[in-house]
């Protein structure tokens, strides 16, 4: 069996270091994890007036989450929190009331920053949000990645073997977490 993992990159930048991290994670992940990015850049701003008439971008977002058996969040830290674009996407996905796409879904959070604390505060904020959304989060290991161009030279390569093996272990643990959650809460790709 393979497991479908939808992933969010919290940055809209064309040169995002978090997209770079996502490429590395995909390269280092177990072979039976299949990845599809869930884009967030074209979503309008969430407005509950639209709960009865979701725009196509938001319908596509919810459908992409339903097609996933697990969700990976790869996000930068903006002003010690998560980027507005990512929060906006989560808000869309969580609504209308009673149709929260994240309910019981296996999830993991990770992020890269140029700063030394490696998105720790953004990840903690994101965990609060995902708790309320009732996602089944992997709580350990945590991964706070300090990006340097030497460490991530491009195309998902990771030059430092210790970092590569840490990221690979993180993805193996995520796979175990997904399997454990799905055993209790089977979630077909819907
Ligand atoms: C940042 N950056 C940043 N870094 C950090 O470690 N903690 C922070 O609170 C912030 N705040 C912040 C706010 C805003 C608006 C920007 C644009 C940037 C720096 C950030 O780590 C850096 O720009 C990364 O390159 C952002 O990730 P992406 O967009 O390259 O994936």
What does the alpha-carbon distance between residue 171 and residue 28 come to, in Å, rounded to a whole number?
Answer: 7
- Phi, psi of 52, deg, nearest 5: -95, -5
What does the alpha-carbon distance between residue 3 and residue 150 come to, in Å, rounded to a whole number?
Answer: 32
- Decide if pLDDT at 9 tops 60: yes
pTM (predicted TM-score): 0.97
CA distances from 101 to 5, 19, 30, 60, 70 (A): 14, 23, 25, 12, 11
Distance (angstroms) between ligand 1 centre and the Cα of 155 equals: 21
Residue 115: CB within 6 Å of ligand 1?
Answer: yes
Per-chain mean pLDDT for the chain: 97
Residue 113: CB within 6 Å of ligand 1?
Answer: yes
- Phi, psi of 54, deg, nearest 5: -60, 135
Give residue-wise pLDDT tens across range 47-103: 999 999 999 999 999 999 999 999 999 999 999 999 999 999 999 999 999 999 999
Q: Residue 188 — very low, low, confident or very high, per pLDDT cuts 50/70/90?
A: low
Give residue-wise pLDDT tens across range 147-185: 999 999 999 999 999 999 999 999 999 999 999 999 988
């Amino acid at each position: 069996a393979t497991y479908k993992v939808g992933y969010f990159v919290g940055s809209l930048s064309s040169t995002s270091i978090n997209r770079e991290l996502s490429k590395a994670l995909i390269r280092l992940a177990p072979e039976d994890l299949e990845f599809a990015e869930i884009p967030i850049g074209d979503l309008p701003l969430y407005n509950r007036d639209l709960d009865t008439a979701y725009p196509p971008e938001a319908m596509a977002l919810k459908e992409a989450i339903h097609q996933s058996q697990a969700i990976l969040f790869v996000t930068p830290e903006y002003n010690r929190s998560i980027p507005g674009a990512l929060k906006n996407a989560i808000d869309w996905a969580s609504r209308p009331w009673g149709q929260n796409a994240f309910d019981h879904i296996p999830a993991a959070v990770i992020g890269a920053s140029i700063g030394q604390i490696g998105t720790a505060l953004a990840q903690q904020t994101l965990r609060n949000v995902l708790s309320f959304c009732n996602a089944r989060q992997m709580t350990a290991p945590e991964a706070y990645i300090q990006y340097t161009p030497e460490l991530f030279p491009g195309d998902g390569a990771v030059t430092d073997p210790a970092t590569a093996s840490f990221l690979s272990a993180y993805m193996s643990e995520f796979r175990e977490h997904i399997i454990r959650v799905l055993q209790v809460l089977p979630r077909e790709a819907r």
